[in-house]
C-alpha cells in the first residue's frame, strides 16, 4: 500500500511538472495511464493541472484539458480560477480559450474579492483586459459589475497602466470610486496613481473628471499623497490651486457614440491641450522653486556676512575694553604711588604708610 501511495504521489508530481514546462506528450501519457490524475491538485495551494497550465501560458495543454471536460472554473486554495491566473500573468491565448470554454468572468477570489478583470488591469495586461471587457458586455450583470466592482484595484501604475485605465474608463468605470477596507482605505484611482507617481495615469484620470479634492480615509487629497512620496510633477498636476484640466464633454454618452477615428482625434486634441497647460504649470513651479532657492541662498550669504561682521565687532569691542582696563590699572598704580608720596590715597595705602612709618 505504501508503495502504491508513493507511486501515485510521484505520478502527480510528474504531471504538474510536465504541465508547467509544456511537455504535452508526457501529460497525455500520464493521463492515459491514470485518468483520475486530471482531478488531482497540489497539496498546499490546491492548484489543478488547468491552473498550472493557464498560469504558465501552456495553451496546448489548456486546450487538451478542456477537451477532456475539465471544468474551467476550478478553484484553488484562494478561490482563484484558472482564468484569474491567466489574466494575472498576461496569458492572452489562455484567457481567450477559457472564456470560449465558458469560464465565469464574474467570480471573485477570497483574497481581496478580485475578479479576472481586476487581475488583468492590476498587472497592466491590456490585451487580456480587452478580451474580458468584450465578454463582460454580453453578461446580464455587466453594468452593475463595471460600475461598482472593478475600479478599486485596477489603477496600479505599472507598464501598460495608462492603457488599462483608458480601457476601463471607456467602458464605464467610475473615475472617483474608492477602495474598501484593505490596502489604502478610501483611496480613489487618483490617490493610487499619485502614490505610484504615474503621470500618464493621472493625466488620463483628470481628463475624465477625477476629483482632485476627494479625500481618502486618512483625510488626504491626491496632491498630499504625491508630495509625501516625492512625485513633484504629479503634485503639480494635482495641486488644487492650479487651473482645472480640460475634461471629456458631458455627457459621456456623446463620446461613446463617435466613430473610432473622430473619437481618437478628440482624445488626442484634449490630451495635447492638457499637456500644454501642464507644461506651463510645471515651468511656473520650477521658476518659483528657483526663486525660492535664490532667496534662501541670498539670505544665507547675508547671514554669514552678518555673523562675520558681528564677530569682528565683538572682537573689536573686547580689545577696546581690555585696552581701557589696562590704562585704568596703570592709573590706579600711579595713584597708589602718588598716595605713598603725598600721604593721600585709599585707606589701605594709608594704612600701609602708617605701618611703614611705625617701623
In a domain, 142, yes or no: no
Between the alpha carbon of residue 231 and those of residues 138, 235, 238, 272, the distances in Å are: 40, 6, 11, 22
| 326 & 285 share domain | no
In a domain, 344, yes or no: yes
Model pLDDT, residue 283: 62
CA 114, CA 110: separation in Å to the nearest integer?
Answer: 8
Structurally, the chain folds into a number of domains equal to: 3
In a domain, 111, yes or no: no
| 37 & 87 share domain | yes
Model pLDDT, residue 263: 61
Model pLDDT, residue 152: 43
| 245 & 347 share domain | no
> Which one of 82, 104, 126 terminates a domain?
104
| 326 & 254 share domain | no
Place of cell 458631458: 250
Model pLDDT, residue 259: 64
Model pLDDT, residue 219: 94
| 202 & 273 share domain | yes
Model pLDDT, residue 297: 61
In a domain, 123, yes or no: no
Model pLDDT, residue 344: 38
Model pLDDT, residue 304: 53
Q: DSSP for 167-181, please give it.
A: HHHHTT--TT----S
| 215 & 262 share domain | yes
CA 90, CA 332: separation in Å to the nearest integer?
Answer: 99
Q: What is the residue range of 321's domain? A: 317-359
In a domain, 148, yes or no: no
The one-digit pLDDT tens for each residue of the chain (359 residues) are: 334 333 344 556 799 999 999 999 999 999 999 999 999 999 999 999 999 999 999 999 999 999 999 999 999 999 999 999 999 999 999 999 999 999 999 899 988 788 898 899 888 899 999 999 888 877 655 555 544 444 444 445 444 578 888 888 877 778 888 877 666 888 888 898 999 898 888 888 888 888 999 999 999 999 999 999 999 989 988 999 887 765 655 544 455 566 666 666 666 666 666 566 656 656 665 555 555 555 556 555 555 555 556 665 566 555 555 454 444 334 333 334 333 334 433 333 333 333 334 43
With contact defined as beta carbons under 8 Å apart, do 247 and 206 qualify? yes
Q: How many CA atoms lie within 13 A of 246 on its CB side?
A: 14
CATH number of the structural domain spanning residue 228: 1.25.40.20
Model pLDDT, residue 182: 60
| 71 & 34 share domain | yes
In a domain, 298, yes or no: no
With contact defined as beta carbons under 8 Å apart, do 59 and 89 qualify? no
Answering whether pTM is above 0.75, one says no
CA 198, CA 159: separation in Å to the nearest integer?
Answer: 10
Place of cell 575694553: 321
| 248 & 329 share domain | no
Model pLDDT, residue 311: 61
| 183 & 283 share domain | yes
| 283 & 331 share domain | no
With contact defined as beta carbons under 8 Å apart, do 188 and 196 qualify? no
> Which one of 271, 289, 307 terminates a domain?
289
With contact defined as beta carbons under 8 Å apart, do 161 and 201 qualify? yes
In a domain, 254, yes or no: yes
Amino acid at each position: 500500500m505504501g508503495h502504491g501511495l508513493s507511486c501515485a504521489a510521484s505520478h502527480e508530481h510528474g504531471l504538474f511538472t510536465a504541465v508547467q514546462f509544456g511537455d504535452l506528450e508526457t501529460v497525455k501519457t500520464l493521463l492515459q495511464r491514470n485518468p483520475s490524475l486530471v482531478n488531482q491538485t497540489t497539496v498546499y495551494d490546491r492548484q489543478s493541472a488547468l491552473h498550472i497550465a493557464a498560469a504558465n501560458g501552456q495553451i496546448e495543454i489548456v486546450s487538451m484539458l478542456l477537451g477532456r471536460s475539465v471544468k474551467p472554473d476550478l478553484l484553488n486554495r484562494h478561490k482563484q480560477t484558472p482564468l484569474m491566473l491567466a489574466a494575472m500573468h498576461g496569458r492572452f491565448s489562455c484567457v481567450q480559450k477559457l472564456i470560449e470554454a465558458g469560464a465565469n468572468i464574474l467570480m471573485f477570489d477570497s483574497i481581496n474579492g478580485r475578479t479576472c478583470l481586476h487581475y488583468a488591469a492590476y498587472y497592466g495586461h491590456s490585451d487580456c483586459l480587452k478580451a474580458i471587457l468584450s465578454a463582460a458586455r454580453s453578461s446580464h450583470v455587466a453594468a452593475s459589475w463595471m460600475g461598482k466592482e472593478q475600479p478599486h484595484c485596477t489603477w496600479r501604475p505599472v507598464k501598460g497602466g495608462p492603457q488599462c485605465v483608458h480601457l476601463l474608463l471607456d467602458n464605464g468605470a467610475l473615475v472617483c470610486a474608492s477602495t474598501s477596507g484593505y490596502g489604502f482605505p478610501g483611496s480613489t484611482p487618483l490617490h493610487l496613481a499619485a502614490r505610484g507617481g504615474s503621470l500618464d495615469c493621472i493625466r488620463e484620470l483628470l481628463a475624465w473628471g477625477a476629483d482632485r479634492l476627494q479625500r481618502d480615509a486618512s483625510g488626504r487629497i491626491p496632491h498630499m499623497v504625491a508630495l509625501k512620496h516625492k512625485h513633484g510633477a504629479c503634485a503639480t498636476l494635482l495641486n488644487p490651486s492650479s487651473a482645472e484640466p480640460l475634461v471629456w464633454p458631458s455627457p459621456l454618452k456623446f463620446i461613446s457614440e463617435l466613430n473610432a477615428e473622430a473619437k481618437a482625434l478628440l482624445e488626442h486634441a484634449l490630451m495635447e491641450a492638457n499637456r500644454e497647460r501642464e507644461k506651463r504649470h510645471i515651468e511656473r513651479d520650477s521658476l518659483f522653486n528657483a526663486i525660492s532657492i535664490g532667496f534662501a541662498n541670498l539670505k544665507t550669504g547675508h547671514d554669514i556676512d552678518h555673523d562675520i561682521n558681528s564677530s569682528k565687532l565683538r572682537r573689536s569691542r573686547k580689545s577696546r575694553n581690555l585696552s581701557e582696563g589696562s590704562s585704568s590699572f596703570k592709573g590706579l598704580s600711579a595713584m597708589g604711588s602718588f598716595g605713598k608720596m603725598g600721604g593721600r590715597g585709599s585707606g589701605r595705602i594709608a594704612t600701609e604708610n602708617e605701618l611703614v612709618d611705625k617701623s
